[in-house]
Amino acid sequence: MSAQPGLKPFPKAYLAPFLLGYLAFWLIPLVEGFGLSLQSDTRFKQSEFVGAQHYLNLLDDGRFFTALQNTGLYAFGTIAVILPLSLLLASLLRGALGRLRGIYAFLLLLPGLTPPSVLAFLFLMVFSGPRGYLNAGLELFDLGPFGWFQDPVFIRLSLVLQAVWRWTGFATLFLAAGMDSIPRSLYETARSEGAGVWQRFVHVTLPLLRNVIIFVCAFLLLDAFVLFEGAYVLLGSSGGPGDAGLLLVSYAYFTAFTLGRFGSAAAMSFSLIPLVLLMLGVLFLVFGRRRGKEA
């Protein structure tokens, strides 16, 4: 007689909420949204199948490309500023007096704990309101005042600054935790081999932080693609002068809920998916291949 090589029992029921929720709030909306993007722009009823028409229209839509360009610039800008800045802050944080560490971490994190709409409002009031602190400060150096919400260049810059303000704290905390988990002995070895502060950072810290860095970048990237609140509060869903603040999600929102063109908006949203996947792929290519070592 032999044992029935059946399955080891596993608590199947624990998967049920996930599967159910996944079906209801991911799979069905995905399929339906995609179907919607193939339908004509009528609300709820009497829509007809138009195939890839909306996607083809997007190719001719100048505003869509503006939104795409803005979003790309914004994503690149936030990562380019936040990553080095938070690496520096994390290194400093680890060198600070133990008691102050918690307070500093909290202060850096404060914007991240604040709802982005509130953050945008505060940003508007303090940094770049018509007569805000930033302009006032710049005037001391005979610069500005700048039209932070009139000049297309500064609109983009202020969107990036806002993201920096919001996310640097979280990125710093993650990176600092990653640095904490690097064994001291590695630094001591590097030191005894004659590596200076910068060399230790480049040859020990950075490679060992790779996973955390990838995580932070992926997070910022995903967030950049769905940025909505900041621009919405500052500029409404219009996009501001010269469409400088027009982002993909706000354009899709505007198309759907202001113009009522659901099909087009759905096509716009869905065109985000391959874009995001492409960007993440690039990210992993850039960071993931270093030394070809598996994490």
Partner 1 sequence: MPYLSFRNVGKTFAGTVKAVNDFTLEIGEGELVTLVGPSGCGKSTLLRLTAGLEDLTTGEILLAGKPVHHLPPGRRDMAMMFQDYALFPHMTVEENMGFGLRMRGHAKREVSESVRETAASLGLGDLLARFPSELSGGQRQRTALGRAILRRPRVFLMDEPLSNLDAELRQRMRVELKELHGRLKTTMLFVTHDQSEAMTLGDRIVVLRDGTIQQVDTPLRLYNKPENEFVAGFFGSPGMNLLPGHVEKDDGGLWFRGAGFRVRIATGEATLRDASGAEVVEVTLGVRPEGFTHKDESVTREGEGIEGRVRLWEQMGSHLLLYLRCGSAEVVARMESGWESAAIPHVGEALRLSIDMAQAHFFAKKTGMRLTLTTAVAS
Partner 2 sequence: MLPSLGFKTLSPDRRRLAQRIGISLMLSLPCAFFAFPFLWMLFSVSKTNLEIFTPLKFFPDAYSWDAFRALLGGEHIPFVRQYANSLFIASVQSVGAVAVSATAGFVFGRYEFPFRRTLLVLAVFTVLIPRQVLVLPLFLWMHRLHLLDTPFAVILPGVVTGLGILYFTMVFRRVPGHLLDAARMEGASEYRVFRFALPLVLPSLLTYGLIHFILAWHEHIIPLVMLNTETRLTVPLALSSLYGGDMRVPYAMLMVGSLVTVLPTALLYFFLRRHFQSSLADLTSR
Q: Contact positions toward partner 1, by CB under 8 A?
A: 1-6, 8-9
Cα separation of 152 and 162, whole Å?
15
> Which positions from 186 to 215 touch partner 2 by CB under 8 A, shown as an x/- string?
-------------------------xx---
CB of 10 to partner 1, least distance (A): 12
Q: C-alpha dihedral over 220, 225, 229, 235, to 10 degrees?
A: 120
- The smaller minimum CB distance to partner 2, of residues 181 and 199, is found at 181
Contact 46, 263 (CB under 8 A): no
* Neighbour count for residue 45 (Cβ, 10 Å): 5
> Which residue(s) pair with 114 in the sheet?
none
Q: What angle do CA 86, 87, 93 make, to 5 degrees?
A: 80
* Binding segment (CB under 8 A) for partner 2, from list 46-54, 68-76, 172-180, 284-292: 172-180
Rounded to the nearest 5°, which phi and psi values hold at 128?
Answer: -140, 15
Using CB distances below 5 to 8 A depending on partner kind, what does residue 133 bind out of partner 2, partner 1, none?
partner 2
Does residue 22 belong to the site contacting partner 2 (CB under 8 A)? yes
Does residue 284 belong to the site contacting partner 2 (CB under 8 A)? no
Using CB distances below 5 to 8 A depending on partner kind, what does residue 2 bind out of partner 2, partner 1, none?
partner 1
Does residue 282 belong to the site contacting partner 2 (CB under 8 A)? no
Cα separation of 53 and 67, whole Å?
20
- The smaller minimum CB distance to partner 2, of residues 1 and 180, is found at 180
**Interface with partner 2 (CB under 8 A), residue from 150, 181, 199, 258:** 181
- The smaller minimum CB distance to partner 2, of residues 86 and 155, is found at 86
Exposure b/e, 85-112, CB count within 10 A at least 16 = b: ebbebbbebeeeeeeeeeebbeebeebb
Size of the site for partner 2 (CB under 8 A): 94
Rounded to the nearest 5°, which phi and psi values hold at 39?
Answer: -105, 160
Interface with partner 2 in residues 101-120 (CB under 8 A): 102-118
Q: C-alpha dihedral over 222, 224, 226, 231, to 10 degrees?
A: 170
**Interface with partner 2 (CB under 8 A), residue from 87, 155, 161, 265:** 265
Using CB distances below 5 to 8 A depending on partner kind, what does residue 1 bind out of partner 2, partner 1, none?
partner 1
- The smaller minimum CB distance to partner 1, of residues 11 and 98, is found at 11
